[in-house]
Amino acid sequence: MANFLKMMSDAYAILGLEYEMALSTRPEGYLGTIDMWNKAEGALQRSLESTGKPWKLNPEDGAFYGPKIDITVFDALRRKFQCATVQLDFQLPIRFNLSVCAPSLPITKTRWTSLSISRSFAPISSPPRPT
C-alpha cells in the first residue's frame, strides 16, 4: 500500500498536480462483520499516516464491500477531480469461496492511479489560474 501511495505521489508531482487524500469508511448497509471493517479501516489509516502527508476522514463514504482511500486532484482553478483510489474488497473472495494458504481472510485490493484517461487530462489541460 505504501508503495502505491508513493508512486501516486511521485506521478502527480511530475504532472504538477496538487492532491488530497481521504479515508472513506463503513457506510450504512455495509456487508461483512464490524471486526473485519475495523481491521481494514485501521490498515488504510496506518497507510495514510505512513505517508506523512495530511489526509481527511470521509465518514460513511466507503463502498458497501469495503473501505477505500480516495485521492482527489485539483486543476489550476482549484476544481476537484477524483483520479485515484485504493479499495479493499473482502466480500468478493467470500462470494467466490476463495482461500489462501495463510491464517487470514483473502482481500481483493483494487488500485487505480487514474480512473480514466479523460479524468486524467481534465486537471492537466485546464486553463491556468488567473493571477
pTM of the model: 0.75
Q: Are strands 55-58 and 18-24 parallel, antiparallel or unpaired?
A: parallel
Q: How far is CA 20 from CA 10, 108, 125, in A?
A: 14, 24, 19
59 confidence band (pLDDT: 50, 70, 90): very high
127 confidence band (pLDDT: 50, 70, 90): low
Among 34-43, 65-74, 92-101, 117-126, the range scoring the smallest mean pLDDT is 117-126
Q: How far is CA 13 from CA 25, 97, 101, in A?
A: 27, 40, 38
Domain 2-125 maps to which CATH number in 3.40.50.2300, 3.30.930.10, 3.20.20.300, 1.10.3720.10? 3.30.930.10
C-alpha closest to that of 22 among 72, 60, 66: 72
Residue 81 has pLDDT above 90, yes or no: no
| Radius of gyration for the alpha carbons in the chain, expressed in angstroms and rounded | 16
- Mean pLDDT estimate for the chain: 80
Q: How far is CA 25 from CA 55, 67, 70, 115, in A?
A: 13, 5, 11, 20
Nearest-angstrom CA–CA distance, 100 and 107:
10
